[in-house]
Amino acid sequence: MTVAAPAFGRFIAIDWSGALAKRYAGIAVAECAAGDAAPRLVEGPGGWWSRTAVFDWLRAELPKEPALVGIDCAFSLPFAVAAHGFPGREATVFDLWDAVEEICAAEPDFGGGPFASHPLHGVGFWHGGPQPDWYEDPHRATEWACRADGLGHPQSPYKLIGSRQVGKGALAGMRVLRALRTALPGRLAVWPFDDPAPGASVMVEIYPRLFLKHTGFGQRKIRDGAEMDEALRRLGSHPLERTGAVSDHDSDALVSAAGLRWLAGTPRAWAPPGLDDTARRQEGWIFGVGMTGS
């Protein structure tokens, strides 16, 4: 199926964090306009971002102009496991978000940690120590498709181990997505669960390594301004002309903003072959994954 790609005047990418703190070096926000101008970093209040500050900024900015917003976190969980938290009914991603919010409502700054320790919904999370015999490392279809495309190896949100764990960031992101969708009725779609509407902003799940793979960087990290400009050039963007070292968080946000603009006009990105009913209703999809499948 071929669908028309939505049109946007603004592209925003957010490198995310699920850490427990008041402000985070691990959150970076970048944006660029339609065309080919270089992306720019958006500075958080006081020079730092919190998750609440990101929510407040997006709530204020998104009504101004239709934007495509990418956030580097899983928008859902593998439902082969998550479904056990909803016995007797076929839950959707919105039911999952409601459960995360109900359990974590008292947690400051959209924290999602209590969900992973809940006696019902927390079953399946690997919290520490050697890998348990029962742990099966569950993944969503989009994560397997990302591997098959050679675009990287996303971690399972159920693996809360080590520096690469993504589960707590995903749970925090779900709370933010739910709150934004509630705060901006009719003005914001969360893809692929909602269909993009004319004149509305759209939020998509991103995996920054995907864009770096497309620029030829493979598993290498961007370390300085020269490498940043080369990646941007390969994504159809003017250079940033920044000198000196570039942090992983800043580079991921900047490259992802340019990458979203580069990819947004591709109809197949909005309707990859693997995007089935399970992905649309429950598990979600990483934007730009699976476009070459049959």
Q: Is residue 47 part of a domain?
A: yes
Q: Is residue 3 part of a domain?
A: no
Q: What is the pLDDT of residues 92-148, one digit of tens each?
A: 999 999 999 999 999 999 999 999 999 999 999 999 999 999 999 999 999 999 999
Strands of the sheet with 10-15, listed across from one edge = 40-42, 28-33, 10-15, 67-71, 201-205, 188-190
* pLDDT greater than 60 at residue 294: no
pLDDT for position 22: 65
pLDDT for position 164: 75
Q: What is the pLDDT of residues 49-70, one digit of tens each?
A: 999 999 999 999 999 999 999 9
**Helix then strand then coil, % of the chain, to nearest 5:** 40, 10, 50
What total of structural domains would you count in the chain? Answer: 1
Q: What is the mean pLDDT of residues 225-230?
A: 95
* Burial (Cβ within 10 Å: 0-12, 13-18, ≥19) of residue 108: exposed
In which domain, by residue range, is 113 found? 10-283
| Residue 39 DSSP class | P
Q: Is residue 234 part of a domain?
A: yes
Question: What percentage of residues in the chain have a pLDDT greater than 90?
Answer: 83
Question: What percentage of residues in the chain have a pLDDT greater than 70?
Answer: 96
pLDDT band at 219 (very low <50, low <70, confident <90, very high): confident
* pLDDT greater than 60 at residue 2: no
Is residue 24 helix, strand or coil?
strand
In the chain, the amino acid numbered 232 is L
Q: What is the pLDDT of residues 13-33, one digit of tens each?
A: 999 987 776 667 789 999 999
Q: Is residue 291 part of a domain?
A: no
Cβ count near 198 (within 10 Å): 7
Q: Is residue 1 part of a domain?
A: no
Q: Is residue 292 part of a domain?
A: no
Q: Is residue 71 part of a domain?
A: yes
Is residue 203 helix, strand or coil?
strand
Q: Is residue 204 part of a domain?
A: yes
